[in-house]
Amino acid sequence: MSTSTLAQRLKRHIKAQGSITVSEYMLTCLGDQEAGYYMVQEPFGAKGDFITAPEISQMFGELIGVWCVSQWLAMEQHQPFILCEMGPGRGTLMQDLLRAAHQLSPAFTQAAIITMVETSPRLRDMQRQTLAHTDLNITWTDDLKTLPPLPLILVANELFDALPMRQYVKKQSRFHERLITLDENDNFIFTTSDYSIDAAHLPADHQSAPESAIFEAAPARNSLMQQISDHIAQFKGSALIIDYGYCHTGYGDTLQAIRKHRFDDIFAHPGEADITSHVDFLSLQEIASKSGLNTATQTQGEFLLNMGLLDRAGQLGRGKTPAQQQQLQADVERLAAPDQMGDLFKVLSISSSSFSPLPYDVSASVNDQ
């Protein structure tokens, strides 16, 4: 099917060393240094493959900025603290977040050690360009482990879906890992491992799952969540994890490829399509609560409406043309309506302090630009 060099490389690897896991396939397609999707492609926007919430409207990053300031106040305005975004894409969310936060509290941006965790050198350059106009000091790292021992406020939008996950298929009452191999014509196909996983790693109801049911597990996501939770439990702070996903562990195949705003065959364009899966928010929330943190999962619609999305849209629309107001209305719906991003996307908030009521009337305090 595909003629990309990454496809050829993957095929040579499978021929030489045998089948690979779904996790290895995702990791290579997205993160390969020479040909991985985030390393070489232009994912975002109308000309790219998909549009993320910060790219839809400035309101998204602004309201997250308000959340960050409210969490900073709840932890008694600790100075200094780390303001970290993981997987910042084009840097748009951080730009909007900083603008809104600075207007609400210049002390917040002054106290912030702004750190971007990004593995793609190409996207790092883009983030630098987006944020070039701010006179704040921003540093980049590719690993959360390098953060200094200080309170942390962390935001990650559409990062976890891009971290690899593994799939297990039920065959005669046991779950075997789903693997990727080649058919006689050298096309990628799924197969299953001979070995099955221990029932201890499966949901309690696994015995009643039907034959061929697929169970997804994401150790890489869980360990990142553990790392974030450990840092916050030890040094204080809060985090906001936003992504498409579900709040109850179940069965089903959520592996997907997106290319040019359409679903693509996951084997058709390795390295040229975004390959992701839905995020298991229940597992992530459990990890944070077991670390002793306060946690809450809401839908993106609930979160944004609670944060004052409608007021903010009203304020931005004041004095604008009917066409601009219609655009704002469309953006609000795209972000928060249940049949658009509102229900599918979830927001997991975690914090070492309680989730305090918002201290600001957002619509009154943040200017347009």
CB-nearer residue toward ligand SAH: 69 or 242: 242
Span of 88-96, 104-112, 257-265, 350-358 interacting with ligand SAH by CB under 6 A:
88-96
Give Cα 106 to chain centroid, integer Å: 27
- Report CA torsion sign: 188, 192, 198, 200: positive
**Do you know the residue count of the chain?**
369
Tokens of 193: 């491992």
Span of 50-58, 76-84, 339-347, 359-367 interacting with ligand SAH by CB under 6 A:
50-58
CB-nearer residue toward ligand SAH: 74 or 336: 336
CB-nearer residue toward ligand SAH: 298 or 325: 298
What is the smallest separation between the CB atom of 60 and ligand SAH, expressed in angstroms? 9
52, 70, 95, 109: residue in contact with ligand SAH (rule CB under 6 A) = 52
CB-nearer residue toward ligand SAH: 90 or 206: 90
Q: Considering the rule CB under 6 A, would residue 347 count as an interface residue with ligand SAH?
A: no
The answer to whether 312 touches 104, Cβ cutoff 8 Å, is no
What is the smallest separation between the CB atom of 159 and ligand SAH, expressed in angstroms? 5
Round to whole Å and give the CA distance between 255 and 39. 20
Q: Considering the rule CB under 6 A, would residue 272 count as an interface residue with ligand SAH?
A: no
The interaxial angle of helices 322-336 and 309-317, nearest 10 deg, is 170
112, 114, 153, 162: residue in contact with ligand SAH (rule CB under 6 A) = 162
| Bridge-based pairing state of the strands 279-280 and 274-276 | unpaired
What is the smallest separation between the CB atom of 52 and ligand SAH, expressed in angstroms? 3
CB-nearer residue toward ligand SAH: 14 or 155: 155
Q: Considering the rule CB under 6 A, would residue 89 count as an interface residue with ligand SAH?
A: yes
10, 69, 86, 273: residue in contact with ligand SAH (rule CB under 6 A) = 86
Round to whole Å and give the CA distance between 276 and 261. 14
Beta bridge partners of 44: 50
Q: What is the secondary structure of 81-147 as a DSSP string?
A: EEEEEES-TTSHHHHHHHHHHHHH-HHHHHHEEEEEE---HHHHHHHHHHTTT--S-EEEES-GGG-
Binding mask 121-160 for ligand SAH (x = CB under 6 A): --x---------------------------------xxx-
Round to whole Å and give the CA distance between 235 and 89. 27
Task: Please give the residue ranges that form the binding site for ligand SAH (CB under 6 A).
Answer: 38, 44, 52, 54-55, 86-89, 93, 117-120, 123, 157-159, 162
